[in-house]
Chains A and B, each alone.
Chain A
Amino acid sequence: MKRRTRRPARPARPDGADRLSRRMRPGDLMAEAGAGLLARPARVALTVLGTVIGVAALVATLGLSKTAGNQIVGRFDAVSATDVVVSPSVRGGGAGGVVLSWDAEARLRRLNGVSAAGTLADVDVRGALVRSVPINDPLGTGAVQLPMKAASPGLFRAVRAQLAGGRYFDAGHSQRADRVLVLGPNAALRLGIDRVDQQPAVFVGDRLYSVIGLLKDVRRQVSLRGAAIMTEGTARREFGLRAPGLAQIETRPGAVNLISRQAPRALSPRDPALLKVAAPPDPRLLKRAVENDLNALFLLLGGVSLLVGALGIANVTLVSVLERVGEIGLRRSLGAARRHIAAQFLLESTGMGLAGGLIGASVGTLVIVGVSASNTWTPVLDPWVPLGAPLLGAVIGLVSGTYPALRAASLEPVEALRAGT
């Protein structure tokens, strides 16, 4: 192992020159640096502004991304975290694949953790137009083309549908292949139907269907808003529907991952890979992703602001050194060592950075509180951010002031006195 050798202490000078005090009291150093800053208050304030903006942007970014992440996760938990959709995979034939069976709803409802389930399919009506009145209009202006869907009775609960009027169809309608329809709100609007108490009917092509229910809204499968929905039994018999297109599941909170694994096995026990599952990502991952996305953008902006602030401090400190050459010469003549000069300029630039950090952290925190209050969010901020931000400002000031301070310290007293007069 390499032994570290201590540098021998310099022997005492016989003439006693080394006994003269060469230290400067910290209080004096602070006072001199403070006076140096206060001598040019406007310039210092403008210089500090760069750091204020940078630090405030950083603090606000970190706080707002955290706050927004929490907010998104909160909303995400309420609806999306219980949403699972199972549909044929590419191997299973994709969108038109025949993998899901007609009893898919019953199979899914047997799984522990499923609170509602239903199946849904697009119905190919072969271009048939839909009209709400039995008028033979040769121009066809009263007829519209509506997406037609076939659903199992349980789908309405699984998509969190709300009724504006009437009722949903049931298993009996499906078994009998009754010609009944439930209209989405946009479809009803297009057909001019706003109530069901007079038993409205619509023609799909030349087939007459009774409208038994009108939807107010759906929270999932939003394409249902503009569609006319018939029973699966009717779709099979009237339009030759071969299989459900997808299974919509609502799970109990926290059961998403479990159901995502179990549903394909329940629906296709022989080959679960014929099905694909669309489930929400882990909320924690989503939260992290949101924070990362916001952070990446705004931290970049904050970083650029801080860089500009640092360059501002470096520039002003350097200009200050050049302007104060005479003062440096005077201080050297009064006994200041090079390190005293360097320390004073470093302290001044660090003070500017610290002030910028303190003000910036306060402004950033106020921004977070203000934005949160205006959106009725709960402001969230890691405690180390407002505490560490002034420190960051001080470090930026210290680093920015290093070159100017070294330059000031390198001045020879005679040259400085000559240049400063």
Chain B
Amino acid sequence: MRVAPPRRRGHGGAPAEATARRQRRRALMSGSLVELFDVGRRFGSDPPVIALDGVTFSVQRGSSVAIVGPSGSGKSTLMNVLGCLDRPSSGTYLFEGIDVGSLTDDERAALRAHRIGFVFQSFNLLGHRTVLENVMLAEVYRGVPPEGRAARALEALRQVGMEGRARFLPPKLSGGEQQRVAIARALMGDHSLLLCDEPTGNLDSVNTEALLALFDELGEAGLTLVMVTHEEQVAAHADRRVRMIDGRLTEEQP
């Protein structure tokens, strides 16, 4: 199995290089991709469960943000709101300047199809479809012609070192391999935002390094990355780190 060569970067081992990279990325950043103003999300009514409580937060284009925090603190809810999978109960969410709260269900679906990629913790691959078909699925709801779709999917698989498994069915793959296929699917298309829930949770250290290197390349190409992680190494790799506690968001210094 060929894995895309990782960019050598030790955890805290080359601060000068990391600083330079951040500076390069900041130079590429041009305004906010997502902006949340006093966003709240409640579930139920007797008594309501407050998953998000007055979150105000913005992410610059091309930057990477790591969300950390204990289980049940609201990380997944925040990811769902950012991914337009869920509507906030209060507050305003702007995506590329678009007020997501004013969009219809169809328009939010179109926004997801064209602008947002997801990597789920449980991979969410279709077991009866091949790896290649799973990756190609990302373009099905974008209305693009099927010509070249397979080639683009193979290129995405190549980026995560999985092109050799294109004809395999997901149940035949290891957890790490499935996770890389899920990442390849999220890389299909011209997304602005990539939302990852524990993207390295099933990867070994070598593949984690490779994936982080890939994220760096994508960031330099303008992709904005928001990820939930429990791994210190991955969180430290992001440009920013925020912490969720009891539905409230606090900024942490890198």
Residues of A within 8 A of B (CB): 13, 15-18, 20-25, 27-28, 32, 35, 38-39, 326-327, 329-340, 412-414, 417, 420-421
Contact B133–A35 (Cβ < 8 Å) = yes
A-side contacts of B106, CB under 8 Å? 22, 337-339
Using Cβ atoms and an 8 Å threshold, which residues of chain A touch B111? 17, 20
Does B37 sit at the interface, judged by CB under 8 A? no
Since A21-B113, A27-B146, A414-B80 are in contact, a sample of 9 more A-B pairs with Cβ atoms closer than 8 Å, ordered by chain A residue number, is: A21-B114, A21-B144, A22-B109, A35-B133, A330-B124, A334-B118, A336-B141, A337-B109, A421-B124
Partner of B112, one of A18, A334, A338: A334
Residues of B within 8 A of A339 (CB): 106
- Within 8 Å CB of B107, what residues of A? 17-18, 20, 22
Query: Which residues of the other chain, A, contact B129 by a CB distance below 8 angstroms?
Result: 35, 39
Query: Given A336-B109, A337-B109 in contact, is the A414-B142 Cβ separation under 8 Å?
Result: no
Q: A326-B124, A333-B85 are in contact. Are A28 and B146 (CB under 8 A)?
A: yes
- Enumerate 21 A-B pairs (CB-CB under 8 Å) in ascending A order: A15-B96, A15-B98, A17-B98, A17-B103, A20-B107, A20-B111, A21-B142, A28-B146, A326-B124, A331-B141, A334-B113, A335-B110, A335-B112, A336-B140, A336-B141, A337-B106, A337-B110, A337-B141, A412-B86, A413-B86, A421-B120
Are B126 and A330 interface neighbours, CB within 8 A?
yes
Q: Bound state CA distance, A332 and B109, in angstroms?
A: 7
Nearest B residue to A21 by beta-carbon distance? B143
* Contact, CB under 8 Å: A15 / B99: yes
Task: Report the minimal beta-carbon distance from B222 to chain A, rounded to whole angstroms.
Answer: 18
CA distance A127 to B135 in the complex (A): 100
| Complex CA–CA separation, A413 to B106 (angstroms) | 12
| B137 on interface, CB distance cutoff 8 Å | yes
| A327:B126 contact, CB within 8 angstroms | yes
The answer to whether A421 touches B122 (Cβ under 8 A) is yes
Of residues A20, A25, A421, which shows the largest number of chain B Cβ atoms within 10 Å of its Cβ?
A: A20
Q: Which residue of B lies closest to A29 (CB)?
A: B140
Which residue of the partner chain B has the closest CB to A18? B107
Contact A334/B137 with A35-B128, A417-B124 known, Cβ cut-off 8 Å = yes
Partner of A420 from the list B124, B138, B140, B146 (CB cut-off 8 Å) is: B124
Q: Which of B83, B96, B143 contacts A24 (CB 8 A)?
A: B143
Cβ of A413 and Cβ of B143 under 8 Å apart? no
Q: Which B residue's beta carbon lies closest to that of A324?
A: B126
**B140 and A28 within 8 A (CB):** yes
A413-B133 Cα distance, complex, nearest whole Å: 21
User: Once bound together, how far apart are the Cα atoms of A16 and B129, in whole Å?
Assistant: 35
Do B141 and A334 have beta carbons less than 8 Å apart?
yes
On whether the beta carbons of A340 and B124 are closer than 8 Å, the reply is: no
Closest to A16 in B: B98
Contacting pair B146 A21 (CB below 8 A): no
Residue B97 CB within 8 A of the other chain: yes
**Inter-subunit contact A414/B143 (CB<8 Å):** no
Chain A residues with CB under 8 Å of B140's CB are: 24-25, 28, 32, 334, 336
Query: Any chain A CB within 8 A of the CB of B105?
Result: yes
Known contacts A22-B110, A337-B109; is-contact A39 B83 (Cβ 8 Å): no
A38-B129 Cα distance, complex, nearest whole Å: 10
- Decide: A335 near B105, CB < 8 A? Known: A20-B111, A35-B133, A417-B120: no
Q: Check A340 against B120 for contact (C-beta < 8 Å).
A: no
Cβ-closest chain B residue relative to A20: B110
Among B109, B124, B133, B145, contact of A25 (Cβ-Cβ < 8 Å) = B145
Contacts of A337 in B (CB 8 A): 105-106, 109-110, 141
Cβ–Cβ < 8 Å partners of A16 in chain B: 98
- Could you say which residues of chain A place their CB within 8 Å of the CB of B99? 15
Residues in B with CB closer than 8 Å to A27 are 146
Q: Are A338 and B105 neighbours in the complex by a CB distance under 8 Å?
A: yes
> Which residues in A have their C-beta under 8 angstroms from that of B138?
334
Contacts of A35 in B (CB 8 A): 128-129, 133
Residues of A contacting B126 in the complex (Cβ-Cβ under 8 angstroms): 327, 330
Contacts of B96 in A (CB 8 A): 15
Tell me, in angstroms, the Cα distance from A420 to B145 when the chains sit together.
Answer: 30
- CB atoms of A333 and B118 under 8 A apart: yes
Structural contact, A332 and B85, CB atoms closer than 8 A: yes
Nearest Cβ in chain A — how far from B184, in angstroms?
13
Q: Which chain B residues numbered 106 to 164 have a C-beta less than 8 Å away from chain A?
A: 106-107, 109-115, 118, 120-122, 124, 126, 128-129, 133, 137-138, 140-146
Give the docked Cα–Cα distance between A32 and B137 (Å).
9
Q: Which of A25, A329, A339 has the most CB of B within 10 A?
A: A25
Contact across chains for B80 and A329 when beta carbons are under 8 A apart: no
**B143–A25 contact, CB under 8 A?**
yes
Contact B141 A413 (CB under 8 A): no
Across-interface contacts of B143 in A (CB, < 8 A): 21-25
In B185-212, the 8 Å CB interface with A consists of none
